[in-house]
Amino acid sequence: MPAQSRYAGIIGTGSALPDRVLTNFDLERMVDTSDEWIRTRTGIRERRVAGEDVAASDLSVEAAREALANSGVAPEEIDLIIVATVTPDTLFPSTACLVQERLGAKGAAAFDLAAGCTGFLYALGVGQQFICSGTYEKVLVVGVDLLTKILNWEDRNTCVLFGDGAGAVVLAPVPPGEGILSLYLGADGSGGPLLVMPAGGSRLPASRDTVDRKLHTIHMQGREVFKFAVRILGEAALAALERAGLQKEDVDLLIPHQANIRIVEAALKRLGLSPEKAYVNLDRYGNMSSASVPVALDEARREGRLQKGDNLVLVSFGAGLTWGAAVVKWSMD
């Protein structure tokens, strides 16, 4: 790979979560499941659920304001806003444009990006490229999803897995050798049918029939997605480490997509890392899709799990099928 002349790093983080907590015991009263069944198979104990009047832009703005405050960057200094989501407020305008207006980031370009649960990693990579190319100086990246809005609450195989949230980071130039050292993204469209919301697009526009058949909710072939995730999470992390010129032993902290504790454990085994080297919060939030990694990143920073100079690995997988990983040399004090 050619030598970089500019490096992009994370200079601020933020997150936002709905107030309502939905526990496994609450779900026992809604569908044929149990706390033990959910915990032993997923590791999830509870998740957050957004209210009826809360949309993706609401949580995005809250997380973005925290990230901006943490970075010391004013909204008007932001050059670009990228929102990674599969649950936008509306198909158009983009959620990013709504966030831009509410933040007062009047000079910023803005667009949404959809890559399933891998969306934040894809958006991070896009933001990095704009900075490394010299096009922009400061980029706001938000990962947000409100998957509880598109769940079939009668399907015990999916409704127990997901929660709502938003995470944000501010990217800016950092000294050479710091910040994002490598990025590895991938996709396999043949796996698209494994995780899909069938209706609501141009293939199956909304109709009484699509609503009656619950085609505006998540449909997932869980066993196949699980097998894919167990394999790809470790592979993606290793590929990103190789691109960064680092070894497994160099990893100080792994922040994986928070989908299932067994998937996280498989990734740790593949990387030869102890459980203490992974940040896990899925027991409290479930799978927050695009918000999963940035929320965990923000919490890890707040809890003092990250020190300047640490080698951090972010890794995720999602609908598409998609996957991605980034190696970050932490540059915040």
pLDDT digits (tens, 9 = 90+) for 197-227: 999 999 999 999 999 999 999 999 999 999 9
CA angle 257, 261, 267 (to 5 degrees): 65
Residue indicated by tokens 């944000």: 168
All structural domains of the chain, each given as residue ranges with its CATH number in brackets, are 7-177 (3.40.47.10), 180-330 (3.40.47.10)
Residues 6+ apart with CB under 8 A from 30: 153, 159
Q: For position 123, what pLDDT does the model report?
A: 99
Q: Tokens representing 301?
A: 């920073």
Q: For position 2, what pLDDT does the model report?
A: 52
Q: Name the band, by pLDDT with cuts 50, 70 and 90, for residue 3.
A: low
Catalytic residue IDs: 117, 257, 287
pLDDT of 237-285, one tens digit each? 999 999 999 999 999 999 999 999 999 999 999 999 999 999 999 999 9
pLDDT of 15-56, one tens digit each? 999 999 999 999 999 999 999 999 999 999 999 999 999 999
Q: Name the band, by pLDDT with cuts 50, 70 and 90, for residue 12.
A: very high
Residue indicated by tokens 């540059």: 331
State the Cα–Cα distance between residues 85 and 144, nearest whole angstrom: 5
Residue indicated by tokens 């999916």: 158
φ/ψ of residue 146, rounded to 5:
-120, 70
Instruction: Identify the three-state secondary structure at position 327.
Output: strand
Rg (alpha carbons) of the chain, rounded to whole number? 19
Helix axes 292-302, 56-71, angle to 10 degrees: 30
Q: What is the mean pLDDT of the chain?
A: 98
**Burial zone of 92 (CB within 10 Å; 0-12 exposed, 13-18 middle, 19+ buried):** exposed
Q: Name the band, by pLDDT with cuts 50, 70 and 90, for residue 4.
A: confident
Of 326, 268, 330, 318, the C-alpha closest to 117 is 318
